[in-house]
Chain A
């Protein structure tokens, strides 16, 4: 069936709630209102207010309560209305949730999910991509799907996982991307990258909305005889080191593309992985295309300037091809 990215996530959670009575949702305005983006629209009618819980506006309480419930063997799915507000729950996530299994051995089957990303003029507090905060915080899985198929398969994997999973849904993709998705139950394993496009000349390593930016650029570049490969990481923790090494060994040139700020961003980590896994295979410098080192501005011309664009990928691909 043809599903939007948003509908794929909705359906994934819905099916898991149908399948497993220990799955429940909590968050702000997720009940009768159905959530700010309507991911849980209609859930309360089906699953009842016991399993679709509207909470006070209190992110630390949401994460804390979800964590506590997970210790009793429940599988909570907590929504952040916008992922920017995850900062309010930082201590619960970083010091409570993430460290539990390592320190005292209790499993934490918990999903924290919410809309992230820019391109919708949400301004500095409704457009962020804070995934790197958690990549640098051992004990959390960080999942960033790019397609409806992956979004559904990965949310199901996250709910079934015995670890805390952070699920970053790109709000620009919610209603823009549609894809044929199997009717039957399926999961996408967490930690395996996907080749979004095969190519010979250079590799663009990216994830989430930027996969589509790279795909658009590939069409422009194809007309110029530049054949780019696009690796969609799908999750940042665990990260698929072998898929990264493999694409470098094949094309020998790499662009890392991400939406969040350049400094301390994922590209630095990928460059280090390439250095460790495939240094001898490089035929050119590793190129970074990333957001500016600033807050993400509100006004459309400024936001456009801040964020990576198709023309950035085209320009840098030409330059790297010629290197």
Chain B
């Protein structure tokens, strides 16, 4: 490799620079790409005949938590060995400020705060419904991730699309669903968005709220959302299409396929990667080897940014910029939001495998408490009275929604039947953003005479 090597111009995206990489012969800027030892001269600097490419990943965070989780074996009092997780690293650093948003107005910030409260109170209500035996199956929580779910979806325009994962129930409220919709899903009620056919956040709405229903398998929404952007682009619209994926879901093959597809096709995917330390009971150390998942974006050739997922302003700003890129037709963005899943995988899971020091560290970084402090004390955008009124109003809304959900009947057994196929008169299908304008070549139809593989 030398400086004279030209970039290939072939392919649909051949004219676009890849990665935004800069080249340097003299110094190493990025941590993601390192020269081989043999390529280094004195003091570890690359020798001049090697072309070292460097990459930068903006990091909006005001702190960089640095722990390591590993498995250790210990003997109990009977002398039997048990394996548990141990965390090491500096956990006594002070909680940082909320970073001022470049884009959010006071009113918008307070609205996001309100959605975060709705998100949390809805999940508390769900926990209570579960304890009352009213929930079918389990309950999934986004405790500690409310800023990420709410501020990210708040940055979308009305016409943009989204597909939440299980811990993004707050995004449903931001996008206009009622808490009762989510509650009825959990209670498998007849009036739930899926009429009892599926639970949790597994529902969609392609008419008004532009939501694709998640499935339980991780990563499959990424190519699907890319396809939504592709369909809209064929109709002349550059939309932002947002979905989330965890550090666990990052490990699936379809995640790779989906991001790569969006990258190659330059589609407006806004992927929020929620690095929340634990995938069910597996720590991120056992999920991937790189320091930050955002480094993977370099491999896809798309821009990435790292944010503090407990800071609503950082999340909003990063997504806002990604959405703007998508609307300009500039392609996908990878946003890694760092935070902690503050409960078990689902309600049955006490998360006893998590070293308690980790909960203690992140509890001080509760996204709602931090944002409340920011709005009331730092910015003085709300008085204590206004905040108390807002909380009371959110609690009233959740109580009303709970009533609606509880009073919905269970579906009839026979309602299990039907609807497998879209039958005559069931749906009229038309392009949502207008008939694609097609350009046709002059070549007409002629029979193919080409040679083929297997005859």
- Give the B-binding residues of A (Cβ under 8 A): 6-7, 10-11, 14, 21-22, 24, 34, 36-38, 41-42, 45-51, 53-56, 58, 60-76, 91-92, 95-96, 99-109, 120-122, 126, 138-139, 141, 162-163, 171, 174-175
Contacts and interface: CB of A to CB of B under 8 A. Distances in A.
Nearest to B253: A60
A107 B422 contact: yes
A125 B204 CA distance: 36
Given A92-B224, A106-B213, 11 more contacts: A47-B440, A64-B254, A68-B229, A68-B231, A69-B234, A72-B433, A73-B235, A103-B203, A104-B198, A107-B426, A121-B454
Interface string B315-358: 00000000000000000000000000000000000000000000
B182 to A, nearest CB: 14
A175 B450 CA distance: 12
A70 B455 contact: no
A67 B227 contact: yes
Interface string B436-455: 11111101111110101111
The interface centre, meaning the residue of A64, A66, A74 with most chain B CB atoms within 10 A of its CB, is A64
Contact of A64 (B202, B216, B227): B227
Nearest to B223: A64
28 contacts: A24-B234, A34-B448, A37-B452, A45-B443, A49-B12, A50-B234, A51-B438, A56-B261, A65-B226, A67-B224, A69-B234, A71-B227, A72-B206, A73-B431, A74-B234, A76-B231, A92-B224, A95-B217, A95-B220, A99-B215, A102-B419, A103-B213, A104-B193, A104-B194, A107-B427, A120-B454, A141-B421, A162-B422
Contacts, number: 211
Given A60-B253, A60-B257, A72-B433, A162 B427 contact: yes
B260 interface: yes
A104 B235 contact: no
Contacts of A107: 422, 426-427, 429
A187 B212 CA distance: 32
- B contact patch SS: loop
Nearest to A50: B234
B98 to A, nearest CB: 35
Residue picked from B205, B217, B224, B427, most chain A C-beta under 10 Å? B224
Nearest to A68: B227
A42 B234 contact: no
A232 to B, nearest CB: 22
Contacts of B226: 61, 64-65, 68
B223 A61 contact: yes
B121 interface: no
A213 B326 CA distance: 54
A69 B448 contact: no
Contact of B444 (A37, A46, A108): A46
Given A65-B223, A102-B419, A105-B419, A56 B232 contact: no
Contact of B217 (A7, A42, A91): A91
A41 B227 contact: no
Most buried by B among A21, A51, A68: A68
B272 interface: no
A72 B228 contact: yes
A180 to B, nearest CB: 15
A101 B422 contact: yes
B126 interface: no
B261 A61 contact: yes
B257 A61 contact: yes
B177 to A, nearest CB: 13
A21 B216 CA distance: 34
Interface string B251-277: 001100110110011000000000000
A42 B448 contact: yes
Given A56-B260, A102-B419, A91 B254 contact: yes
Given A45-B441, A139-B420, A69 B227 contact: yes
Top 7 nearest A-B pairs (CB, nearest first) are A68-B227, A64-B223, A69-B231, A72-B231, A65-B227, A61-B257, A58-B257
Contact of A22 (B260, B264, B436, B448): B436
Contacts of A101: 419-422
Interface string B400-439: 0000000000000000000111100011011111011111
A91 B221 CA distance: 11
B197 interface: yes
A61 B254 contact: yes
Contacts of B227: 64-71, 76
Contacts of B433: 72
